[in-house]
Amino acid sequence: MSIVILRITALLYAVGAAGYVAYFARPRHREAATFGFWVLTAGFVLHAAAIGVGCAEFGGREFFTVRGGIALLVWLIVGAYLLLHRLYRLPALGAFVTPFALVLLVPALFATLDHPEVAPEMVRSPVLAVHVLSAMLGLALFGIACGVGFMYLLQEREVKGKRFGALFSRLPSLDVLDRLGQRLVRLGFVVFTVALVAGSVIASTVWKTPFDPQQVVFIAVWALYGLMVQLRHSGWHGRRYAVLTLVGFFIVITSMVSLKVVPGITRHAGNYGAPSPTEVRQ
């Protein structure tokens, strides 16, 4: 059931993205962006319903699969974008973030939910909910930062290459993009840190064995973005910083997907490497 709702959601996102792209192509038609915003909002609400129904269907274990994980990530990206739009009023950003979110959602629409084991006790733990949500929100913010970085590189090419074409007039100024990207990275890092703390609390109580690959990747991503926050303070910005946000998110996505695709590589999928629920209770 939840997958049907999710597919309708994807359809709404596609229509919303089309609105934003139409606005970007013809900036005179501001109403296209407004239309995009409302359709996207409707999609966001429906997406929430899909996630809720999914929770009822699978009891939370879907968040540890490609489908549920990506669906949650895209939901947070869209939500963060809608919030950003209220704050910054940059409809041009929508033309980049919404198609990106849509493409990201595609694997979730067709992936099966083959999950052998359930860890009901852990899934219902509030600390785990905090961990999953904040980790995903952090990634969502990094994802939008990546979109903003991409816009920066496009605009920089126009400004520096003296093209002054359609992109030049439609994209926001370099300064706006640069500062927005930096804020997103900083905020994402803070949220991601929360996820790290929550994650280590869970890991130390449930797992006695050393790190598994997903934990290593998680810490590496956290360190990478932490480094980016630090680099900003030591004067990194502009082009170099935009490239960093792109590279960072590329690493995030590839490692996330490869961890999910290779069977049994991490305790975060499959059997969680956890003792049986009865053992936990002892």
Q: How far is the CB of 174 from other proteins (least distance, A)?
A: 5
Q: 110 vs 164, which CB is nearer to other proteins?
A: 164
If the CB atoms of residues 124 and 157 are measured against other proteins, the closer one turns out to be 157
**Complex with other proteins: residue 238 or 273, whichever CB lies closer:** 238
Pick between residue 147 and residue 172 the one whose CB is nearest to other proteins.
Answer: 172
The site for other proteins (CB under 8 A) is made up of 28, 30, 155, 158-160, 162, 164, 168-169, 171-176, 235-240
Q: Which CB atom, from 7 or from 239, has the smaller least distance to other proteins?
A: 239
Q: How far is the CB of 86 from other proteins (least distance, A)?
A: 19
Closest distance to other proteins from the beta carbon of 28 (Å): 7
> Nearest distance from residue 277's CB to other proteins, in Å?
55
Q: Which is nearer to other proteins, 162 or 208 (CB)?
A: 162
CB of 236 to other proteins, least distance (A): 8
User: What tokens does 171 get?
Assistant: 């994209």
CB of 241 to other proteins, least distance (A): 10
Query: What's the rounded Cα separation, in Å, for the pair 165 and 65?
Result: 43
53 and 62 in contact (C-beta within 8 Å)? no
DSSP secondary structure, the chain, as one string: -HHHHHHHHHHHHHHHHHHHHHHHH-TT-HHHHHHHHHHHHHHHHHHHHHHHHHHHHHTTGGGGSHHHHHHHHHHHHHHHHHHHHHHH--HHHHHHHHHHHHHHHHHHHH---------HHHHT-HHHHHHHHHHHHHHHHHHHHHHHHHHHHHHHHHHHTT---HHHHHSPPHHHHHHHHHHHHHHHHHHHHHHHHHHHHHHHHH--S---HHHHHHHHHHHHHHHHHHHHHTT--THHHHHHHHHHHHHHHHHHHHHHHSTTS-TTSTTTTPPPHHHHH-
Nearer to other proteins, 168 or 207 (CB): 168
CB of 160 to other proteins, least distance (A): 6
